[in-house]
Amino acid sequence: MTKPAPPKKAPTRKSGTTKPRPRAPAKPRQVAAPAPVPARRHRWRSNLGLLLMVLIVGWCGGFLWFLSNAYSPSVPPAHADGIVVLTGGEDRLATAFRLLNEGRADRLLVSGVPMGISLHDMTASAHIAPEPDDQRVTLGHQALTTLGNAQETAGWAQAHAMHSLIVVTAGYHMPRALLELSREMPGMQLYPMRVQPAAIYDGTRAHIWRLMVAEYTKWLLAQMKFTRMAAVLLGTQAA
């Protein structure tokens, strides 16, 4: 009998001769796309632009109303309980004394008169003759501002139980004056008597437009009661 052949051994690999496995191909690196601008920022800019547009249109529309009001002619009533003139020009004084002489009211308050100025001084500067009866004219020396004029006028009107007043001041000053007076005297009937200096009609002068813009801005601040807040903070009548 023949002996069976021994089984063949599987060939063994020598250490260090193992072939490395092929690496997977590297994926291309993706470049991050720039982050998109949030839509919220676009909406914010759009809303801001719209707000500015509304403010500009509103300011211009209000300014046109202010000019129309400032240049409106005034017709005094047949009679009122009193007349108040807010000092600031000879034309205002002359108009107020003329209304008093015409019998439009029985009493006159000149609000905001500097200390040391008498009735004779005022009538002489305004070229008023004859001089009115000092029993009918009161000189107010306390007011320094439009708010002060309103407060001074309110005290005077209350002392004489008045219910109607003719208000004499410049046309550009009238909106703010009526605003402050109506706040101090709710229910008081106010009749505006606008005084227009001749120079106010010269639209070619830059300082006339600066005056109008400044007065319009003051009226806007008065609407927001800014002057009253300033008065409380500063301890004065108003800025």
Q: Which two tokens stand for residue 31?
A: 């470049």
Query: Any alpha helices (H) in 25-78, and if so which ranges?
Result: 39-70
77 in any annotated domain: no
Supply φ then ψ for residue 10, to 5 degrees. -70, 135
User: What's the 3-state SS for 131-149?
Assistant: CCCCCCEEEECCCCCHHHH
- Cβ atoms of 150 and 180 closer than 8 Å: yes
Instruction: Give every CB contact of residue 27 below 8 A, 6+ residues apart in sequence.
Output: none
pLDDT tens, per residue, the chain with 239 residues: 555 666 565 555 555 555 656 666 666 666 555 555 566 677 777 788 888 888 898 888 888 999 888 888 899 999 999 999 998 777 899 999 999 999 999 999 999 999 988 888 888 877 777 777 778 999 999 998 999 999 999 999 999 999 999 999 999 999 999 999 999 999 999 999 999 877 777 767 788 888 889 899 889 888 888 766 655 554 444 44
Supply φ then ψ for residue 28, to 5 degrees. -65, 135
117 in any annotated domain: yes
187 in any annotated domain: yes
124 in any annotated domain: yes
Question: Per the structure, how many domains does the chain have?
Answer: 1
CATH number at 178 reads 3.40.50.620
Residue 151: CB atoms within 10 Å: 23
Q: What is the pTM of this model?
A: 0.72
166 in any annotated domain: yes
121 in any annotated domain: yes
226 in any annotated domain: yes
Note down the domain range covering 189. 82-234
3 in any annotated domain: no
